[in-house]
């Protein structure tokens, strides 16, 4: 069952579109230049966007979902965590064979990117990205390092809360959703200008992963559970497509 036909069965439970933030939000400085000034134009998809490439298990390496080890084969520095959950449709059914990719800052809050000039050091053993395919029940799991918070040049002394970026692919590159996962109890969530563009608290809470001690490994790592819902009123908040898949 693919992402597309999993969500086509039965009636659609439409998402509350009012919880999507306006494009122009002055508190988030770059939205002032990126927000559209004219009415949007809807473009139909083409055959190349609706079909392939398809993703197979042979494309996923043994360590692709292990960000602690997958960059150099030596362990990364920081607090080890398990990030896990399920990709679900609007009826709560797991969606299998979905490509889930993540990327993040290291434990000090720095990305492995040439334009990241934050003074925190790079971890030589942490690349900061991984991928996996969901199982038959829609489940996924990553072993990673809890990312650090970091400052960003929005307004004076703005900091991004600890977060992990998530990309979910359907059956082709034209079917892609992007979101972020935050961590339960982080006080910077309420202070983040990007988070505060979201008008409804329940939409924000859908992006916060609760601590899951049932999956934590004693003397090793904590765990956080984050389900990704593709459509309907319980849909996860997606940055790039408020209608979902």
CA pseudo-torsion sign 198, 167, 189, 215: positive
Is 163 catalytic? The answer is yes
Within 13 A of 130's CA, how many CA atoms are on the CB side? 26
Determine, yes or no, domain membership for 107: yes
| 163, 182, 224, 231: the active-site residue | 163
Determine, yes or no, domain membership for 3: no
Tell me the whole-structure pTM to 2 decimals. Answer: 0.83
Is 28 catalytic? The answer is no
User: If DSSP codes are grouped into helix, strand and coil, which group holds residue 57?
Assistant: helix
| 28, 140, 150, 224: the active-site residue | 150
User: What is the residue-level pLDDT of the chain in tens, covering all 245 positions?
Assistant: 344 444 444 555 555 656 667 777 777 777 777 777 887 777 776 776 666 666 666 688 999 999 999 999 999 999 999 999 999 998 999 999 999 999 999 999 999 999 998 999 999 999 999 999 999 999 999 999 999 999 998 888 999 999 999 999 887 667 788 999 999 999 999 999 999 988 788 889 999 999 999 999 999 999 999 999 998 777 888 887 766 66
Look at residue 121 in the predicted model and tell me its pLDDT.
Answer: 95
What does DSSP assign to residue 94?
B
Q: Which domain holds residue 216?
A: 54-230
User: Residue 115 burial by CB count (10 A; 0-12/13-18/19+): exposed, middle or buried?
Assistant: exposed
Determine, yes or no, domain membership for 18: no
Is 111 catalytic? The answer is yes
Determine, yes or no, domain membership for 45: no
Determine, yes or no, domain membership for 235: no
| 86, 165, 224, 231: the active-site residue | 165
Determine, yes or no, domain membership for 5: no
Is 165 catalytic? The answer is yes
Determine, yes or no, domain membership for 8: no
Determine, yes or no, domain membership for 1: no
The number of distinct structural domains making up the chain is: 1
Question: Could you tell me the CATH number of the domain that includes residue 138?
Answer: 2.60.130.10
For 217, list phi and psi in degrees, rounded to 5: -105, 120
Is 37 catalytic? The answer is no
Look at residue 34 in the predicted model and tell me its pLDDT.
Answer: 76
| 20, 28, 84, 111: the active-site residue | 111
| Rg (alpha carbons) of the chain, rounded to whole number | 18
């Amino acid at each position: 069952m693919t992402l597309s036909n999993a969500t086509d069965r039965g009636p659609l439970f439409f998402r509350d579109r009012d919880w999507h933030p306006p494009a122009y939000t002055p508190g988030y400085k770059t939205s002032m230049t990126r927000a559209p000034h004219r009415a949007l134009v809807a473009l139909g998809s083409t055959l190349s966007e609706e079909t392939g490439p398809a993703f197979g298990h042979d494309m996923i390496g043994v360590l692709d979902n292990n960000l602690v080890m997958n960059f150099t084969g030596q362990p990364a520095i920081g607090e080890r965590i398990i990030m896990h959950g399920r990709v679900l449709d609007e009826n709560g059914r797991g969606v299998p064979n979905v490509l889930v990719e993540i990327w993040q800052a290291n434990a000090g809050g720095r990305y492995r990117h040439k334009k990241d000039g934050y003074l925190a050091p790079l971890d030589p053993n942490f690349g900061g990205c991984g991928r996996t395919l969901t199982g038959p029940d829609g489940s996924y799991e990553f072993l990673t390092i809890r990312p650090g918070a970091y400052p960003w040049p929005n307004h004076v002394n703005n900091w991004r809360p600890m977060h992990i970026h998530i990309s979910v692919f359907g059956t082709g590159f034209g079917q892609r959703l992007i979101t972020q996962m935050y961590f339960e109890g982080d006080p910077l969530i309420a202070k983040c200008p990007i988070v505060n563009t979201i008008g409804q608290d329940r939409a924000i809470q859908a992006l916060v992963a609760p601590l899951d001690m049932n999956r934590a490994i004693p003397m090793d790592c904590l765990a956080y559970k984050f389900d990704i819902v593709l459509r309907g009123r319980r849909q996860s908040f997606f940055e790039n497509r408020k209608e979902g898949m």
